Structure 1
Amino acid sequence: MTSKSKFNWKSWASYLALIGCMSIAVNWWQTRDAAMGSVAGFHGRLLDGSEFSMADYQGKPVLIHFWATWCPVCDLEKGSIQSISEDYTVVSVASWSEGVEPVTRYMRDNELTFPVLLDDSGDWAQTFRVRGVPASFIVDQQSMIVSAVSGYTTELGLRVRLWFAGREG
């Protein structure tokens, strides 16, 4: 067997490390201006007509997830967000999605049950300084944003962040 045909673990490890570093750098760049701090005043009317207020979730970790009906990456994440909503408080913010009917249809067609705050104007996205969707914010027990992620995120990655946000002190 020649040395060219041997599997080179060091090369693969180097490539994987480089990709990991690049992913971290890109996420940092995309979220460098993201809102951090208290979201205790975050509130609004949900798609189903009920009121949402972060004050009701003090003491619990919360995922605030920005998405859009036309976003293919958001479409990839929808199952993960649905799964997470069965174990944690999730409020999703449908930004720039062209109104109630398209969002309602999207939720129904995809059998999604997590709460949705409609943000057609992008006001909430602007408040959170969201540059693009999807974007996820992890809120701790004191209603403070402790993590912001832009772009595709794995379910495991969000769950780990929520678990840490739910830990006491």
Structure 2
Amino acid sequence: MTLRKKNSLSPTFKKILSGLGQCLIGVIIYYAISSYQQRHLITTGTLAPSFHLPQLQQTRWFDSKELAEKTSIIYFFAPWCQVCKLSASNLNTLDNQKLNVIMIALDYQHTEEVSQFVEKLDLSMPILLGNNTLKQQFNISAYPTYYVLDKEQRIIGHSMGYSTELGLKLRSLQ
């Protein structure tokens, strides 16, 4: 007959603890990498740079002043970006009655590239044609990058990389 120590853990419980520990380490590493990647983005609480840009396939220009009065998501993308192709359609699911959602194309050679990207994903929000000046003003270094603005156009959130529909909705509630 073997005696078990009072403080010994069962093998199953040890496996569960080990798995939880590995998950915790993974989450910490993920947030550390995300924070490092986003270190150059504009700080929350800062007023977003204003802009005046042409809209894709329209003669009308879009002015950032049009974003006032609602929370806004500005999503920067490049038409060649594979992660953008995976995440951009999540923007279509956001409530346009409560949010302004715009996409700004950067790092494209021809507007046809942007048009094909938009048509393939059946995007319904305004698509603007950005430039290197705007890219520098918003400190864009990777795609996709997006900013969440409050009604006064102050940055209340930002992120880089893929974001789920739920992630976008939660960030826009800030």
- TM surpasses 0.5: yes
Q: Distance in 1 between matches of 2:78 and 2:11?
A: 47
Residue 91 in 1 paired to residue 102 in 2?
A: yes
- Gaps spanning 5+ residues in structure 2: where? 1-9
- Which residue is 2:113 aligned to? 102
1:1-169 maps to which residues of 2 (within 5 A)? 8-36=15-43, 37-39=46-48, 41-47=50-56, 48-84=58-94, 86=96, 88-119=99-130, 121-164=131-174
Q: Distance in 2 between matches of 1:123 and 1:9?
A: 51
Q: Distance in 1 between matches of 2:49 and 2:80?
A: 29
Q: Which moved more, 1:108-117 or 1:48-57?
A: 48-57
Structure 1 runs of 4+ aligned residues shifted over 3 Å read 3-7
- Gaps spanning 5+ residues in structure 1: where? 165-169
Deviations along 1:81-132, one digit per CA (max 9) or x if unpaired, are 222264521111111122211111221222112111112x432111100111
Higher CA-based Rg: 2
Q: Distance in 1 between matches of 2:132 and 2:19?
A: 42
- The number of aligned residues is 161
Identity over aligned pairs, percent:
24
- The normalised TM-score by structure 2 is 0.82
Letter matched to residue 150 of structure 2: D
Q: Distance in 2 between matches of 1:111 and 1:74?
A: 13
Q: Which moved more, 1:37-46 or 1:140-149?
A: 37-46
SS of aligned partner of 1:63: strand
Q: Distance in 1 between matches of 2:157 and 2:13?
A: 42
Compute the displacement of 1:5 (Å): 7.3
Cα RMSD after superposing both structures: 2.0
- The normalised TM-score by structure 1 is 0.85
